[in-house]
Structure 1
């Protein structure tokens, strides 16, 4: 019988794409992939270290694996595994910890699947992570996450990602297009472009800083790939989101009017302490430009509350800045100290109860912003891609501009595109629809 392997992924879409690539390497070695809740011979946990919660969840997930099979071999890979390999190796039940350069060669380390008293560590100095491994993940039958870039050359004072993933480097354009065609051939309707800093696309391997292609070259080439119905750009830095890219998306065949642009703070003083590469006036300019070219676009924002030295005045500056900005929703992160970052050593840390209070205020603002955006779209005709789950008798889907809609469950709608009219907002905050057309694409 083939040995069984199960995977658990913490963190971002990039981690999901890499888990899929690692899973395919197991399939080539004749392992059978099963769900993490099932009994397996090997459990692979792809870790994240962006927030404290991701660190804490790791131990819980290891316990779950041990409960499913006390004799199973447990391996940890990913960002946390690179940053704190010995810490993970010391967790009861962990047998193998692989760093940034080793994770894609995991099957080479599995000659002996017997349990270890202490986790075995194979991790590199992060400077050695100078090569690129392309990957993509198929989250469900409707969309795929396509990795186009890895690592980051920015030195934001709160962030450990450069320590966990190394320098900025990109897949070459031919490989990206090959992966996109492979995804399209599997009847997947939407591709989400992912990376650590995708606007920096084009930097080659081995620290080559020359951009062979730009991010604009990438989106123009992907727009010409046949069989892809939708392309969505994931998070992109405001200083790297150029006007020509915004114009191209506005007139594109497949790129959808949805941008997710990290802000982190609406206070220029805090942005400078964070060592971000822009100030609020540039951010306002980007939002304004999107609204001028695509009035119906969805604009999401990342924001961090409770950064060291953030006074009440700084926070209110952020709150009012976001309140007045024509955006659609927020992703709110409560600042947490990370080892080996400059921010962790800064004076005037914000007390935890104040961080929580500020986070709650911005989450409330996000609900208000999303509601206002949804209301602005009522009466319009949009195209919805329906997803695969029956949720309490309803099927859900997203419009091209990221309005979440619901309709009575109908299995024939799964993974199809329909033109619909957005009619009203339901009690749960989702939008009800009326069908305008037959299937746009099955």
Structure 2
């Protein structure tokens, strides 16, 4: 078939010819009447070009090669089956030989090639899907990966005659495969690879400059300031990603990426809007987690729930690990607190930390009959009273002298008792949190 394609104007012009049944940018379907007319005229000695021109076709538009190949095909079909050879069983214009029935051996060979390609593709996708975080995500291989995969499969399993079938299975064109592996393309990729290697060595000099490892932006500034070399920031990041040059500081949190990939975590609206003092005990609850450094470089984590109206700490939990249990155990401790009375419309407010966006935490909040509210992203003032409590706690509690976890827990328990029952606060009308809670309940 001719490789010539038709423009929109040519398609419109050809469609107006009564001997054309349909036309696309790549081919024409002629009527049975025209084919029979062509055979009759050709048998009288007329050339294919003459017949087409007499029937109103512009041979320059159609292409002489397409005219000759159509005539040759129709003559062969007429010799074999007569007039019926120019039609197929559905009554549509034909003239093209029908697809050959595959033998059993050919079918088995195709199935084997298909299975081999799918196995190889799955092996390659396994390395990409999990991204080092244990989270599977849907990945579509880029064409260049498919070209390499098909070439590897063909060489390994000697499937040289299966190229067309494998390209079709992979959803790529055979011309694209040949173009990718042409000598010009291979040469260009090799040159690009050599250039990337040179750039990598320069980037590594900046990365290791003064024996201080750096990120992409610091590398860019170091190259400009110390080596008078200007590289685009995207180029630096591409080379770093390609050769696994990673800055060990302030890396992206893999847990947050995992949350985004799984789409399990949900952020809820800010219902509080900094209206902390509503003078209703048990209505607005604030929660957060803080770090505690004690002993000789040991670290623990404290999670608290604070009544915003009374400043009372109604529940807390201490742990040496910052797992989901830290937040959920605090909620369960609130449930066990017999002194806590939940008000109508009560809700718990937090930041957008992973503990509070986790489905387990949000499910437990609903089971306890509480609503949920979250601060705006990166805005600590939306949970200011809770942050203020942590500041006073670290100033007043004797955390650093504790040498064991048991000592730390005892000190925290003593402080919570002191804070709720004996620490008078100016903005609570000079009362303790417990006294102020009772005062509000009597006033109600």
TM-score category of the 2 structures, normalised to the smaller one: under 0.3
After TM superposition, the score normalised by the length of structure 1 is: 0.18
After TM superposition, the score normalised by the length of structure 2 is: 0.18
User: Which structure's CA Rg is the greater one?
Assistant: 2
Q: Higher helix fraction: Structure 1 or Structure 2?
A: 2
Q: Which has the higher contact order (CA 8 A, sep 6+)?
A: 1
Q: Higher strand fraction: Structure 1 or Structure 2?
A: 1
